A and B are shown apart, each in its own frame.
Chain A
Amino acid sequence: MSLASSAAPLPRRTGLFDLLRPGARAAFMILAVSAVLLLFLAPIIILVVTSLRPGWGVYYIHRGTEFTLANYVEVFQRGVVIEAFFNSFLVATAATILSLGVTVTSGYMLSRFKGWLPKTWFTSIYVFRTVPYISWVLPLYVVNESLGLYDTFFGILAAHVAVHVCFFSWIMKGFFDGIDPSMEYAAMIDGCTRWGAFRRVALPAAGPAIAALGILSWLWTWNEFLFALILTGNRTPLLTVTMAQFVTELGTEWNLMSAMAVMAMIPAVIITLFAQKYVIQGLRI
């Protein structure tokens, strides 16, 4: 084989996209991105517009110019809504803090230790994960009912922590797998105990991942509907269930429900924006 032929550039693959002119390519890209954006933004736009329409205007939001904030006022005049916001915030935050304590340490154990204990633990959360989420709710209801935990904070909290632990221990294990264990060995030689090496070296290194997981857990519980519906009642109203109560015998009050949904988005958006930096870092680990 001659040198010239070996140095020749590889033939370029040409597709339909390459046949277009550069200007047409840009236009094509803009169209494609817009389409995707529309897919995600449209429901939110519809939601926001609906929340600003009077009750009789929700079925034709594309027409009419009547906009009002009365829906928001009405929603917040109902005591249960405020209570639901407060309860959901409390449950989501408490569930996140409690479950992080378990997921972080159990993820670390799964990543670093061998033997029967991690193996058994891994198998059990694996089995729980394969069970469809929805099929847990009935047994949990029976358990909560018989333990007198139905419609209590502790009842719903325990259920959420259990789900978090099963679903997120894995993710945490993955994060710790990505952190080089020799850093902890170095710390142990530098005068730390095993626990000290975890706390002072592995934990800070996993900081972004933990933050990402924290947000994930928080959003999960904040948005969760099924457990809230079955395991809570009038004593502990939660956001998602309260929202669903705008569906009445007389019809669905879409405008009020939308107003509440928009309000419910706000804390989640704020938290996500605030911690986005960590989430992206966490994803990179």
Chain B
Amino acid sequence: MAEVVLRDVCKRYGSYNAVDNVNLTIRDKEFLVLVGPSGCGKSTTLRMIAGLEDISDGTIAIGDETVNVLPPRDRDIAMVFQNYALYQHMTVYDNLAFGLRNRKVPEDTIKTEIDRAVDILGLRDLLKRKPRELSGGQQQRVALGRCIVRNAKVFLFDEPLSNLDAKLRAHMRLELKRLHRRVETTAVYVTHDQVEAMTLGDRVVVMNNSRIEQVGTPWEIYSRPRTRFVASFIGSPAMNFLDGKVKRNGSGYNIHAPGGAFHVSDESARGLVGQDGRGVTIGLRPEHIRLYESRADNALHGRVELTEQLGAEQLVEVEVEGARIMVSRVEAERELKPGTPVYLTVEPGQLRYFDPVTEQALA
């Protein structure tokens, strides 16, 4: 059980910065998720915490100890890899016991520890099997078991669910959450899947281009994205962006966008103070947009381009003066033919605004 602190951590390969100045405190017993597109530096960050990559600059501390030069075996961590990394020539039992035997733990204690882990993960019948005789989900569970028996200070997860099929992934996601509640250890989890990030993380770190974009609870990240990148990366379908122009109008602002204009009051648009007469990027979440076939006020006018029937809802792509806007949560029963004229409205409080140049949120 320990806090992990990263201070000004950098990783350079020649002149390329794979991780650039990362500052992060992972609290004791917290489940922290690093999420971002591939190549954003999240895995490298994790591997530096593990000690599998050298740190070019900065310090990493686990508990009270700076671990920069400590080899992985002395960091008291446990790690689950994307492809499970089970020892193929050993049985499940020996796989679980390997780390403890290396630490000269007596066989009796090893047996008790393995018993406990096996009960948590339901591996009882598989102990004598070799990894290649197990399914992907079972292998994943053994890899988790290897972590549990170790009682390490920190658990590290490197995209542990991405090799599983969609159904099993959803199932294992829940199991991981349950497991963390039971084992209560500091955990760092790397994924490129924003659903995993949102559902598993106590806090989520969004990374892009070797840097941290935002750190926060899943709700903060979703509702108050600090940059346009975070806004577009988190949420599915992704947020829509429109270029608009702000005009002061009475006790509020008019925002002129392609396809129409919105009027927003001062209190629902505090970010727009000082933006009078300037261009902004407007962010609209697909799930916040309401779609009408009859004329509506404060709405954007467009035409239906495509619909995707999901059964529980429809996704509708609307063309608004050249821009494409995705609308979700449209009732599945509605029949919307391509070309139908439609009106889109949003609660003013749910609009997000970004500086078109810096791409920072205006709030």
Q: Which residues of A line the B interface, CB within 8 A? A: 180, 182-183, 185-193, 196, 201, 204-205, 207
Asked whether, in the complex, the Cβ of B88 is within 8 Å of the Cβ of A183, the reply is: yes
Contact of A207 with B89 in the complex, beta carbons under 8 Å: yes
How far is A96 from B103 in the complex, measured between Cα atoms in Å? 35
CA distance A196 to B51 in the complex (A): 16
Known A182-B81, A185-B81: A190·B89 in contact at CB below 8 Å = no
Please state if B52 and A188 are interface contacts (CB–CB under 8 Å).
yes
Residue pair A189, B88 in contact (C-beta under 8 Å): no
Residues of chain B within 8 A of A189, CB atoms compared:
50-52, 72-73, 75, 77-79, 99
Which residues from B are CB-within-8-Å of A188?
51-52, 71-73
- The reply to whether B71 and A183 contact each other, CB–CB distance below 8 Å, is no
Q: Find chain A residues with CB under 8 A from B82 CB.
A: 182
Docked-complex contact B73 and A205, CB < 8 angstroms: no
Residue in A182, A191, A204 whose CB lies within 8 Å of B85 = A182
Contact in complex: A192, B73 (CB < 8 Å):
yes
What would 28 A/B residue contacts be, using CB atoms closer than 8 Å? A182-B82, A182-B83, A182-B85, A183-B86, A185-B72, A185-B81, A185-B85, A186-B86, A186-B87, A188-B51, A188-B72, A189-B52, A189-B72, A189-B73, A189-B77, A189-B78, A189-B79, A191-B73, A191-B102, A191-B103, A192-B73, A192-B102, A193-B71, A196-B102, A201-B87, A204-B89, A205-B87, A205-B88
Assess the A190–B146 pair: CB atoms within 8 A.
yes
Would you call B98 an interface residue if the criterion is a C-beta within 8 Å of the partner chain's C-beta atoms? Answer: yes
Residue of A nearest to B89 (CB): A204
The 5 closest A-B pairs by CB, nearest first: A191-B102, A190-B99, A182-B85, A186-B85, A182-B81
Q: Count of chain B residues with Cβ under 8 Å from any Cβ of A?
A: 24
- B78, B87, B103: the one contacting A187 at CB < 8 Å is B87
Residues of B within 8 A of A183 (CB): 85-88
| Chain B hits for A204, CB < 8 A | 87, 89
- A186 touching B103 in the complex, CB below 8 Å, given contacts A192-B73, A204-B89, A205-B89: no
CA distance A190 to B103 in the complex (A): 9
Across the interface, do B73 and A180 meet the contact criterion of CB distance under 8 Å?
no
Residues on A with beta carbons closer than 8 Å to the beta carbon of B88: 183, 205
Closest to B78 in A: A189
Complex Cα–Cα for A193 and B75 (A): 13
Which partner residue on chain B sits nearest A204 by CB separation?
B89
Q: Is the CB of B73 within 8 A of A193?
A: yes
Complex Cα–Cα for A203 and B86 (A) = 14
Whole-angstrom distance between the Cβ of B269 and the nearest chain A Cβ: 49
Q: Assess the B85–A180 pair: CB atoms within 8 A.
A: yes
CA distance A188 to B79 in the complex (A): 10
CB distance from B48 to the nearest CB of A (A): 13
Which residues of B are at the interface with A, using a C-beta cutoff of 8 A? 50-52, 71-73, 75, 77-79, 81-83, 85-89, 98-99, 102-103, 146, 150
Instruction: Give, as a whole number of angstroms, the nearest-CB distance from B89 to chain A.
Output: 4
Q: Which of A187, A191, A204 has the most CB of B within 10 A?
A: A191
Q: Which residues of A have CB within 8 Å of B98?
A: 187, 190
Judge whether B99 and A191 touch: CB under 8 Å: yes
Q: Give min CB distance, A196 to chain B, whole Å.
A: 8
Interface hub of B51, B71, B85 (most chain A Cβ within 10 A): B85
- Whether B81 pairs with A186 at a CB distance below 8 angstroms is yes
Minimal beta-carbon separation of A230 from chain B (angstroms)? 43
Residue of B nearest to A196 (CB): B102
Known: A180-B83, A193-B73. 6 other contacts (CB 8 A): A186-B87, A187-B87, A188-B51, A188-B71, A189-B99, A190-B73
A201 to B77, CA, bound (A): 19
A214 vs B98: C-alpha distance when bound (angstroms):
29
**Bound-complex Cα distance A182 to B82 (A):** 9
Q: Which residue of A lies closest to B88 (CB)?
A: A205
How far is A187 from B146 in the complex, measured between Cα atoms in Å?
Answer: 11
**Which residue of the partner chain A has the closest CB to B90?**
A204
How far, in whole Å, are A214 and B51 apart by their CA atoms in the complex?
35
Q: Residue among A182, A186, A196 with the most chain B CB within 10 A?
A: A186
Task: Give CA–CA (A171, B57) in the complex, Å.
Answer: 38
B276 CB → nearest A CB, Å: 55
Q: Which chain A residues border B83 with CB–CB below 8 Å?
A: 180, 182
The complex places the Cα of A192 from the Cα of B88 at a distance, in Å, of: 16
Q: How far is the CA of A207 from the CA of B90 in the complex (A)?
A: 13
Alpha-carbon separation in the docked complex, A193 to B71 (Å): 8
Give chain A residues whose Cβ lies under 8 Å from the Cβ of B51.
188-189
Question: Most chain-B CB neighbours within 10 Å: which of A188, A190, A207?
Answer: A190
A204 CA to B90 CA in the complex, in Å? 9
Contacts of B85 in A (CB 8 A): 180, 182-183, 185-186
Which residues of B lie under 8 Å from residue A193 when comparing CB positions?
A: 71, 73
Contacts of B71 in A (CB 8 A): 188, 193
A183 nearest CB neighbor, chain B only: B85
Residues of A within 8 A of B50 (CB): 185, 189
Q: A185 and B79: CB pair below 8 A?
A: yes
B72 proximity list for chain A (CB < 8 A): 185, 188-189
CB–CB A186/B146 < 8 A: yes
Which residues from A are CB-within-8-Å of B146?
A: 186, 190
State A137–B195 Cα separation when bound (angstroms).
Answer: 65
Taking CB atoms, residues of chain B closer than 8 Å to A186 are: 79, 81, 85-87, 146
Q: Hey, which chain B residues are within 8 Å of A196, CB to CB?
A: 102
Rounded to whole Å, the gap between the CB of A86 and the closest CB of chain B is: 36
Q: Which A residues are in CB contact (< 8 Å) with B78?
A: 189
Chain A residue numbers with a CB within 8 Å of B52 are: 185, 188-189
User: Would you give the shortest CB distance from A191 to chain B, in whole angstroms?
Assistant: 3
C-alpha gap A190/B72 in the complex (Å): 8
Closest Cβ neighbor of B150 among chain A residues: A190
Which chain B residue shows the least CB distance to A191?
B102
Question: In the bound complex, how far is the Cα of B143 from the Cα of A190, in angstroms?
Answer: 12
- CA separation between A182 and B87, bound complex, in Å? 10
